[in-house]
């Protein structure tokens, strides 16, 4: 009897071991939805939601689950449904603008298939780039996401290669202009307010009413000749990406221009504190420095918010539309709440508005 029991116990143990060897123990027990949602990313990427809920992680997550998912918002740098659907013809055909379904596909299939979910992270690239991670995680694709989130990003690991097939992808361009050149009639009416710039947020993206430009040359010039009509501080000053100042131009200048017999206004936001060199009533030309690029108002890093509109707005906020919705990629102007904003880059490059 005892021998039999031992035998049976041994057999059972062997069976258990055999079963266990086939069970894949995930290297991360974290839930896929937890990994894919990053409240800080969501907060920064969705100013309208940020205004409504502030830095409340659970409220932001609820917003994403109840609204953002279907609206096609990106929950983190790992997933952007518009990029995801744009990259894969089969998904485009299957889901179109059903972004909730696209998210579900990514969770249930895309991740395992090694598909790229956003412009910022490709699990296949991340996997291919690092042998140490392959040794650690094998084919557990979700573990690579988790690793990137917890360590890889901070370690500066590369998780993406340029996407060429994504439609209407935002471009970072660097151009050099000469704001100090003398004005004459053969020149374009509009110039870049920065001597050289990179675009960090384009016109229309998430309801963006201007263009965000960044440069090592921080002097900000009038974009065209005109009259200064307003300067001041909107929002609570510096470093106002916190909930204390959910919106604000920071230090700003508004200049009135007559362009093609029409009155339009150029606006410059987030200027450095106390850098404004002009006051209302001053006549300016393209060679007039009006201030210095800064990080005041609702801004998460030094840049210039440059906008052109048909309404003065007296310095009230002109950064983003409340609804946070993209304008169409090709749009050169957008009218909301009775105010028309023009694409400043189109003005600089083409010399026209709209």
Choices 36-44, 177-185, 234-242, 301-309 (CB under 5 A): range interacting with Zn ion = 301-309
Of residues 259, 338, 269, the one with CA closest to residue 299: 269
Q: How far is the CB of 59 from Zn ion (least distance, A)?
A: 24
Q: How far is CA 85 from CA 1, 77, 126, 268, in A?
A: 65, 15, 20, 35
CB of 268 to Zn ion, least distance (A): 11
d(CA 124, CA 217): 38
C-beta closer to Zn ion: residue 47 or 86: 47
What is the sign of the dihedral through the CA atoms of 67, 69, 73 and 76?
Answer: positive
H or E element in which residue 5 lies: helix 2-22
247 or 305: CB nearest Zn ion: 305
Question: Which of these ranges, 51-59, 64-72, 187-195, 298-306, lies near Zn ion under the rule CB under 5 A?
Answer: 298-306
Choosing from 305, 313, 332, 333, the residue that interacts with Zn ion (CB under 5 A) is: 305
DSSP 162-199: --SS-TTPPPP-EEE--TTSPP-TTS-S---SSSEEEE
Q: Which is nearer to Zn ion, 209 or 255 (CB)?
A: 209
**Residue 92 CB contacts under 8 Å (≥ 6 apart), including other chains:** 85, 86
Query: Residue 101: exposed, middle, or buried by beta-carbon count in 10 A (0-12, 13-18, 19+)?
Result: middle
Q: How far is the CB of 193 from Zn ion (least distance, A)?
A: 13
Is 142 or 209 the residue whose CB approaches Zn ion more closely? Answer: 209
| Binding segment toward Zn ion, per CB under 5 A, in 49-57, 180-188, 246-254, 305-313 | 305-313
Question: Looking at beta carbons only, is 214 or 305 nearer to Zn ion?
Answer: 305
Shortest Cβ 33–Zn ion spacing (Å) = 31
CB neighbours (10 Å) of residue 218?
A: 17
User: Under 8 Å CB-to-CB from 321, ≥6 apart: which residues?
Assistant: 48, 207, 209, 336
Per rule CB under 5 A, count of chain residues that contact Zn ion: 2
Which residue minimizes CB distance to Zn ion?
305
Nearer to Zn ion by C-beta: 130 or 341?
341
- Whichever of 115 and 298 has its CB closer to Zn ion, that residue is 298
Q: Which stretch binds Zn ion (CB under 5 A): 6-14, 302-310, 323-331, 342-350?
A: 302-310
User: Residue 2: exposed, middle, or buried by beta-carbon count in 10 A (0-12, 13-18, 19+)?
Assistant: exposed
| Cα 292 → chain centroid | 23
Q: Least separation, in Å, of the C-beta of 212 and Zn ion?
A: 4
298 belongs to the binding site for Zn ion (CB under 5 A): no
Q: Per-residue x/- marks for Zn ion, 199-228, CB under 5 A? A: -------------x----------------
- Which of these, 349, 331, 350, lies nearest to 168 by C-alpha position? 331
Whichever of 212 and 334 has its CB closer to Zn ion, that residue is 212
Binding site for Zn ion (CB under 5 A): 212, 305
């Amino acid at each position: 009897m005892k021998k039999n029991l031992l035998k049976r116990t041994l057999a059972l143990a062997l069976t258990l071991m055999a079963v266990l060897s086939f069970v894949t123990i995930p290297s991360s027990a974290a839930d896929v939805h937890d990994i894919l949602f990053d409240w800080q990313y969501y907060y920064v990427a969705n100013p309208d939601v940020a205004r409504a809920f502030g830095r409340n992680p659970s409220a932001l997550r609820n917003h994403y689950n109840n609204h953002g998912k279907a609206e096609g918002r990106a929950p983190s740098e790992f997933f952007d449904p518009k990029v995801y659907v744009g990259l894969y013809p089969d998904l485009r055909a299957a889901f179109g603008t059903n972004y909730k379904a696209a998210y579900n596909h990514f969770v249930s299939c895309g991740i395992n298939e090694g598909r790229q979910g956003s412009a910022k992270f490709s699990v296949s690239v991340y996997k291919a780039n690092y042998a140490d991670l392959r040794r650690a995680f094998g084919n557990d694709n979700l573990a690579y996401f988790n690793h990137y989130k917890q360590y890889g990003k901070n370690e500066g690991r590369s998780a993406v290669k340029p996407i060429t097939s994504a439609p209407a992808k935002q471009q970072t361009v660097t151009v050099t202009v000469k704001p100090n050149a003398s004005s004459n009639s053969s020149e374009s009416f509009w110039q870049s307010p920065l001597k050289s710039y990179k675009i960090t947020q384009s016109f229309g993206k998430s309801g963006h009413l201007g263009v965000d430009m960044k440069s090592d040359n921080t002097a900000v010039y009038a974009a065209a000749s005109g009259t200064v009509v307003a300067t001041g501080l909107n929002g609570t000053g510096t470093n106002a990406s916190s909930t204390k100042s959910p919106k604000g131009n920071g230090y700003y200048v508004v200049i009135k221009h007559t362009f093609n017999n029409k009155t339009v206004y150029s606006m410059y936001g987030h200027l450095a504190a106390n850098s404004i060199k002009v006051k209302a009533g001053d006549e300016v030309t393209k060679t007039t420095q009006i201030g210095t690029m800064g990080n005041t108002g609702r801004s998460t890093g030094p840049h210039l918010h440059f906008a052109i509109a048909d309404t003065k707005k007296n310095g009230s906020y002109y950064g983003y539309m409340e609804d946070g919705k993209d304008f169409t990629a090709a749009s050169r102007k957008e009218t909301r709440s009775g105010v028309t904003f023009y694409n400043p880059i189109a003005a600089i490059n083409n010399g026209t508005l709209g």
